[in-house]
Amino acid sequence: MKVVLDTMLWVSYCTLKDGYRYRLIERARSKRVRFFVSEYILNELELALTEDLGLTTRFAALARRAVLRFAKSVELSSTPRSFVPGDPDDDPIVQTALKGKVDYLVTADKEILKVGKIEDVQVLSTQQWEKELPLT
């Protein structure tokens, strides 16, 4: 299974070690799920940690490295197509999923969830994705 997680799932993973999203991602890792990210998602992660949550730039850099230890980075084209009519800022997240040729884009973003499916990529909420993960 190949997956792209949106930025907020990575923020939760890096900040809430006892939270639902952290446990879900760790479960996926134990099942050998392959994760993909892009520079766009990593930059958003750092900004969310420092500007929105007021954490240090050192923490943000360590979080970025932690994600890259098990997520493969894909390079995006400089001119992304439009995928999310309600929020064009989310287009690079969808593009990351397409570039990584993933099975699922997992998100908490309502605008991305509205899209449902883009080419071969199924857009899922965390709850929907949890049901797709193998139990053993």
The percentage of the chain sitting over the pLDDT mark of 90, rounded to a whole number, equals 82
User: Given its phi and psi angles, is residue 92 left (phi above 0), alpha (psi -120 to 50 degrees) or beta?
Assistant: alpha
Q: Tell me what the mean pLDDT of segment 50-58 comes to.
A: 98
pTM: 0.91
Judge whether 85 lies within some domain: no
Domain that holds residue 18: 2-78+90-132
Encoded tokens for 6: 């949106």
Q: How far is CA 91 from the centre of its chain?
A: 13
Number of compact structural domains in the chain: 1
**Res. 62 pLDDT band, cuts 50 70 90:** very high
**Res. 83 pLDDT band, cuts 50 70 90:** confident
3-state secondary structure of 32: coil
Q: The CATH number of the domain where 74 resides is what?
A: 3.40.50.1010
